[in-house]
């Protein structure tokens, strides 16, 4: 993306590097946990199964910590890319001239900046419930177990949307490169990518 907008680097390289290392270390911690005490509540520790009474080992705590590091790293990288998009475009590189993949990068980074704090808050609340006697998700103590499902759903669905938007934008760029023609309905494609990200992430009735 920086090359597409005429930038030699990102606007906040140290922030992006910090995010990358958080992502790597969080991933190592997550996979290393399977050698010791893996989380026994699945890929998404739904309350009340993740409460201390049902999961007394530290597997869920490791999952919360490692996932928090990964998500925080992605947030820092998104802020770095978003700042680059807005401040380091080459002279004459207006938004109307930006490639479709650059538009997709802007949509994805904005989406991550909006939804990541929700998941970080949910992880913090879950850790407080487990180790500090909180009652955010504890149904027996007046909490709302479904609250975790709603908060995590927003983030995980946004993650799926980032993959879809990036993939569709990459396909559009490949088609243009091999056909040597501008993609018909370019503005419609960009609007569709934004609509996919927003509508796909928005909570709504589920069957």
- Examine residue 129 and state whether it is found in any structural domain, yes or no: yes
Does some domain include residue 152? Answer: yes
Asked if the structure places residue 134 within a domain, the reply is yes
Does a structural domain hold residue 36? yes
Query: What is the chain's mean pLDDT, rounded?
Result: 89
Q: Which domain holds residue 126?
A: 13-201
pLDDT reading at 141 higher than 80: no
Using pLDDT thresholds of 50, 70 and 90, give the confidence band for residue 169.
very high
CATH number for the domain that contains residue 137: 1.20.210.10
pLDDT at 207: 44
CA distances for 1 relative to 10, 86, 98, angstroms: 9, 12, 10
The pLDDT-based confidence of 125 (bands split at 50, 70, 90) is very high
Which span out of 15-24, 143-152, 177-186, 198-207 was modeled with the highest average pLDDT? Answer: 15-24
Q: Is residue 5 part of a domain?
A: no
Q: Is residue 35 pLDDT above 90, yes or no?
A: no
Domain count, the chain: 1
Task: Assign 3-state DSSP to the chain and report helix, strand, coil percentages, each to 5.
Answer: 70, 0, 30
Per-residue pLDDT, averaged over 185-190, amounts to 90
Is 4 a member of any domain?
A: no
Instruction: Show the CA angle centred on residue 183, arms to residues 182 and 189, nearest 5°.
Output: 140
Query: Cα(99)–Cα(163) distance, rounded to whole angstroms?
Result: 18
Closest CA to 118 of 163, 75, 80, 65: 75
Each residue's pLDDT tens digit, 50-68: 888 888 888 899 999 999 9
| In-domain check, residue 95 | yes
Report yes or no on 180 lying in a domain. yes
The mean pLDDT value for 73-85 works out to: 95
Angstrom CA distances, 157 to 73, 137, 149, 178, stand at 18, 20, 11, 32
Query: Residue 38 above 50 pLDDT?
Result: yes
Higher pLDDT, 43 or 139: 43
């Amino acid at each position: 993306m920086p090359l597409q907008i005429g930038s030699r680097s990102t606007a906040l390289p140290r922030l992006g590097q910090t995010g990358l290392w958080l992502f790597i270390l969080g991933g190592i911690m997550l996979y290393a946990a399977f050698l010791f005490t893996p989380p026994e509540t699945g890929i998404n520790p739904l309350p009340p199964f993740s409460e201390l009474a049902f999961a007394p080992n530290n597997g869920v705590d490791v999952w919360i910590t490692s996932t928090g590091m990964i998500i925080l790293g992605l947030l820092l990288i998104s802020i770095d890319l978003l700042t680059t998009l807005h401040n380091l475009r080459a002279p004459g590189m207006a938004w109307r001239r930006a490639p479709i993949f650059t538009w997709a990068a802007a949509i994805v980074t904005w989406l991550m900046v909006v939804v990541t704090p929700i998941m970080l808050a949910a992880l913090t609340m879950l850790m407080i419930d487990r180790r500090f006697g909180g009652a955010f998700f504890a149904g027996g103590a007046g909490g709302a177990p479904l609250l975790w499902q709603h908060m995590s759903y927003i983030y995980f669905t946004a993650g799926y949307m980032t993959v879809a938007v990036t993939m569709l934008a990459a396909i559009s760029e490949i088609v243009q490169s091999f056909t040597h023609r501008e993609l018909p309905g370019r503005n419609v494609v960009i609007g569709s990518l934004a609509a996919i990200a927003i509508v796909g992430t928005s909570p709504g009735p589920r069957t």
